[in-house]
Each structure stands twice: as structure tokens, then as C-alpha cells.
Amino acid sequence: MHQYSFIIFSFLFYFIFLINLIAQPSNITAQNVEKLLEKSNEKKQAGDIKEASRFLNEIATIYWENRNYDEAINYFNRSIELNQNIGNQSGIISIYSNLALINADKNDYAKALQYFEKVYAWRKKNGEDGIRSSLINMSVASGKLKNYPQVIIYLEQALELARQKYDLKDMRLCYGMLYETYSKMDNNAKSQEYFILYKDINEMLSKKNEDKASKYEKIKIENENLEKTKKIKELELELAQKELMKEEEKLVSIGKQVENLMANKTKQELALENLQKDQKIKELAIVSEKSKVEAEKQKIQNRLQNANNKIYYSITVIIFLGLIGLFLLYLFFDRKQKNKLLTEQRDKLNELNHIKDKLFSIIAHDLRSPMIAFHNFSTLLRMGGISEEEEILLVDNMRKISGVTLETLDILLNWAKTQMHGINPKPERISMYHLAEKQKKFFQATAQFKNITIENELSEDDVAFADRVQMDTVLRNLVNNAIKFTNKNGKIIIVSHKTVEKIYVGVQDTGIGISEQNIDKIFNTKVNFTTKGTEKEGGTGLGLMLCKDFVEANKGLINIKSKENEGTLITFSLPLK
């Protein structure tokens, strides 16, 4: 009963103290400031600068709470000077934060922004917490100064940090402030965009809170109640211990009096014994109370442990479900990749089927027809009965047919080889000049038949890193095509130019040219495209496709530029190294 009386008396005393404090704020503030200033000076003289600074901060806080901003700023500045003497930068930054807020209270947002920027720079440099809050504070101050573009910069930085931490509350705050800022700037599109984001994330948070309320809010409330109960029990134990100390002091005092009177008074001895018994009873009662408190503390700890176990179990379930989700995601992408490979294989098979059909068509027509003609010509020669002029004409036609047939066979064999064994270039340093000279000499007789001149404008320095045999085939096909599609008295020029990493070689003619529609068909394996030369020379349509494959296998590209009745330039690139 005495214990509860003490508690009631304490609360009454504190209540009267508050009433007096409200009634006489100025006097109490002055008294507090004077005491704190004395303590600060004492600590400063003792060399404890940190503690002296702390007392100055308390004085500044008192003035701040009483809205005496100038005095608050004065004492904060005095505290900064002390911290500068001992190099306590962390303490200075904490005071800067307070000065920023005080200036904001004074509506001096320019000054507040300066201090907020100092706090932000320190936190960012030292990797401390609170970077996001600094950015948001700077955005608020900039908004008060109507510097809306700067507000957006600060908020977007804060938003990015919130996204990295997946802090939904800070994300919602940034979205809301961006919505308000763009509204003030009359940017309706951006304002609407951030309003939708704010609304969506607000609904997410609401739903998340509803989902978790039944499971986690009870645990949180239970933990808070347990902590409150624990503090109450600890307070009761502390009060009981104080009462015990008072009783012990009384007993000590009584014990001394008994010792002085023992020699003369038997009653006093009996009283002493009674007092000692009472003391033991009280001690036993206190021990019993301590035991109860300890038992209660143990119960609280057990309940806390159970709550923690529930949380750990929930986290484990969430992680397990997350792993299952990742596994399912892996299966989805694996299936998607396999489907992609099957599609590519199907496209490749379709392309090979087109190539097969094309080869059979060439064999059935472009080889069979010349051989039939060759057979008929040879039969006429064997039978005799033809004039010498007709005989010369037949031999000339047989020569042309055999030339075309050999060309067709050469291309078919090269093409078939690439399709069966693949293109496996053996790159080396080769002189493109010498390869061009070789083709010039090789086709000299054919060109003279149509009175076509071939010029090689390459130099000895024109060297490429590629497969010699494959590049020889490419140049041979390009020069042969140029002769085939160039009229009599025309010209063919082999040209080149170089960059830092590549050489470009081209075969240019003054022939009949190619239309834009036909250029697209040349490298299309699905279209069997071929045309006759100026002297009705035939072709397979595979020559340029073979050139393209050889050039690309040697890390180059082939390009066609042409204009009807003006000529054609076919260029291919090769690496220098």
C-alpha cells in the first residue's frame, strides 16, 4: 500500500511541476539556461569539449522550443566552434541539420537549403543513412523557393535510392511530391503520370498492410505490450528496491539506538529482536517479489522467443516460395530458348530445301540442255555434208557451250563443297593486287572477244588477311560476271580503298546494270534468280551467293550498287589483320 502511495505522490508532484512550468515559462527557461551554461563552462575548463558542446546544444534546443530562433542559432554556432576545435565533424553535421530546420521554421528557406546541402554532402561522402531524407528536405526547401526544376532533380535522386531499397513508403512520398511539383509547373502530362504511380503504389501499400495485419500486426502489438509489461515490472522492482533501502536505513538507525540501550533495557532487546524479525520478514517478502519479477521476465522472454520463431518461420516460407518462383521462371525461359532453337533449325531446314530444289533445277536445265546441244552439234559434224562456214560456226558454238558448262560445274562443285563440309577459311596475308592481276590475265582472251578492257588499279600495298583460294574464287566470279553483263567496247576496273582496320575491293563495269528489285533477289535463296548476258550467256545464279558466303566467312561484307544501263559496282571488305 505504501508502494502505491509513493507512485501516486510522484505523479502528483510531476503534475504540479508541469503546471508551475507552464505558468512561469520565462523564469524556468532562464534558470535552465543558466544551469546548463554553468555546466558547459565547467566541462570546457575540465577539457571535456564534447560534453561542453552537448550542454550548449541543450540550451539551443530550449530556445528553439520557445521560438526564440536567434538565440537558438547563436548557441548552436557556439557549439559548432567547440566541435571544430576537436575535429568532431559528425557533431557539426548534426548541428547543421538542426540549423536547417530552424531556418525553415523562420521561413528563411535559402539559408535552410544551404545547411541541408551540407548535411547531404557529408552523408553521401561517408555513406551514412539519411541520404534520401536529405534529398527530400532539399526538394522541400527548393519548392518553397519555387525552383521547381531543382525540386525534380532532388526527388528523382531520392526516388532512385528508394527503388534500390524497395522502400514503398518513400517511393509513394516521392511520387506524390513529383505530382504536386509538375502540377505547379502546369505540366499536366507529367503530373498525371506521377499521380497514377502514386495511386498505384498507395493501393499496393494498403493491400500489403491489409494482408499482413492479421499475421504480423498482432505479433507487433503483442511484442509492444510485452515490452510495456516488462518496463512496468522493472519499474515496480526498482521502487521496491528503493523502499527496501529506506527500510534498511531505518533498521540500521534503530540498530544503533538499540546497541546504546542494550545494557540497561530488556524491553529494548525484545524490541530489537522484533525489529530484526520484521526485517527478515521484509527481506523474505522482497526476495519473493524479486522471484515473481524474475519469473514474469522469463515468461516475457519466452513469449518474445515464440514471436521471433513465428517471424523466422514466415520468412523461411517466403524464401521457399521465392525459390520455387525462380525455378518456374527458369523453366519458362529454358522452354522459350528451346522453342527459339527449334524455329531456327526449321528455318535452316527450309532454306536447305530451297537450295536443294535450286541445285536440281540447275542440273536438270543448265547442265542437261548444253550437253544435249553439244551432242547434237557433234552428231552433225560426224555425219558431214555441211559447209566449211557452218562447220566453223558449229565448233564456235560448241566452244561457247563447253565454256558455260565448265563454269556452271565449277560453281556447283564449290557450292556443294561448302554445303557438305562448311566454309573453313585458312586466313593469311595475301596480296589482293596479285589476285586481281591473275584474274585480269585469265579473262584477257574472253574480254578481247567482246573488245572489253580490264584495268587493275590496286597497288602492291593492298594486302588483306583472308583465305587465298576463297578470295581467288570471289574475284574470278565477279570479273566473269562483269564481262558477261558488259556490252562490247566496254570497260571493267578493279578498284580498292582502305580504312584503319579493313580493305575494300570492288569490281566496276560499264554494263547493263541491275534493277533495284533484282538486287534484292540476288542473295535470296528462296528465289531462283538468273539473267542472260549481253551475248545471251547463261548462269546459275549461285556465283554471287557463293561469293557472299566466302566473304562473310572471312569476316567481311559484300555490297552491290547498280543503275540500269549505266553499270554495276560490287564491293567486298576484308580485315587487314
Per-residue pLDDT of the chain (577 residues; tens, 9 = 90+): 444 444 444 444 444 444 444 444 455 567 788 888 888 888 888 888 888 888 888 888 989 988 898 988 999 898 898 888 888 888 888 898 899 899 988 899 998 899 998 888 988 888 777 888 888 998 998 989 989 999 999 998 888 888 888 888 888 899 889 889 998 988 888 888 888 888 888 888 877 766 655 555 555 555 555 554 454 445 445 545 555 565 566 655 655 664 665 556 566 566 566 666 666 676 666 666 666 667 666 766 777 677 677 776 678 778 878 888 888 888 888 888 888 888 777 866 765 565 555 555 555 445 555 676 666 767 777 777 677 777 777 777 677 667 656 666 766 676 666 655 567 899 999 999 999 999 999 888 788 888 999 999 999 999 999 999 889 999 999 999 899 999 999 999 999 999 999 999 999 999 988 888 888 778 776 666 667 666 666 555 677 888 998 999 999 999 999 988 889 999 999 999 8
CA dist., res. 78 & res. 53, Å (int): 8
Tell me the C-alpha to C-alpha distance, in Å, between residue 298 and each of 164, 219, 220, 289, 294. Answer: 40, 18, 19, 14, 6
| Residue labelled with grid coordinates 541541408 | 116
Residue 52's pLDDT is 86
Is 48 strand, coil or helix? coil
CA dist., res. 577 & res. 561, Å (int): 27
CA dist., res. 32 & res. 26, Å (int): 10
Q: Residue 507's beta-bridge partner residues?
A: 494, 570
Query: Angle of helix 543-553 relative to helix 468-484, nearest 10 degrees?
Result: 150
User: Within 13 Å of residue 49, how many CA atoms lie on the same side as its CB?
Assistant: 13
3-state secondary structure 481-500: HHHHCCCCCCEEEEEEEECC
Residue 415's pLDDT is 64
CA dist., res. 148 & res. 437, Å (int): 71
CA dist., res. 60 & res. 58, Å (int): 5
Residue 13's pLDDT is 46
Contact (CB, 8 A) for 447 and 479: no
Residue partners of 297: CB distance under 8 A and separation at least 6? 230, 233
Burial degree of 519 (CB within 10 A; 0-12, 13-18, 19+): middle
Residue 198's pLDDT is 87
Query: Angle of helix 69-86 relative to helix 89-105, nearest 10 degrees?
Result: 170
What is the second-level CATH architecture of the domain 25-217?
A: Alpha Horseshoe (1.25)
575, amino acid identity? P
CA dist., res. 423 & res. 549, Å (int): 8
Burial degree of 187 (CB within 10 A; 0-12, 13-18, 19+): middle
Q: How many CB atoms lie within 10 A of CB 466?
A: 27
Radius of gyration of the chain (CA): 50
* Helix ranges, 422-524 (H): 432-442, 444-449, 468-484, 516-522
Asked whether the whole model's pTM tops 0.85, one would answer no
CA dist., res. 116 & res. 137, Å (int): 7
Q: How many CB atoms lie within 10 A of CB 481?
A: 22
CA dist., res. 132 & res. 169, Å (int): 12
Q: How many CB atoms lie within 10 A of CB 379?
A: 9
- How are beta strands 453-456 and 491-498 bridged, if at all? parallel
Residue partners of 83: CB distance under 8 A and separation at least 6? 49, 50, 53, 89, 91, 92, 95
| Residue labelled with grid coordinates 526527388 | 155
Tell me the C-alpha to C-alpha distance, in Å, between residue 9 and each of 236, 241, 282, 295. Answer: 15, 17, 23, 29
Secondary element (H or E) of residue 430:
strand 428-431
Sign of CA dihedral 134, 139, 141, 147: positive
Distance of CA 336 to the CA centre of its chain: 23
Burial degree of 309 (CB within 10 A; 0-12, 13-18, 19+): exposed
Contact (CB, 8 A) for 68 and 59: no
Residue 483's pLDDT is 92
Three-point CA angle 157, 159, 161, nearest 5°: 75
Q: Residue 465's beta-bridge partner residues?
A: 429
Is 458 strand, coil or helix? coil
| Residue labelled with grid coordinates 576537436 | 86
Sign of CA dihedral 299, 305, 307, 313: negative
Residue 49's pLDDT is 87
Three-point CA angle 404, 408, 414, nearest 5°: 145
| Residue labelled with grid coordinates 570471289 | 474
Residue 542's pLDDT is 74
* Helix ranges, 87-147 (H): 89-105, 109-126, 131-144
What are the φ/ψ torsions at residue 466 (nearest 5 degrees)?
A: -160, 180
561, amino acid identity? K
Q: CATH class for domain 424-575?
A: alpha beta
Contact (CB, 8 A) for 481 and 453: no
CA dist., res. 437 & res. 473, Å (int): 14
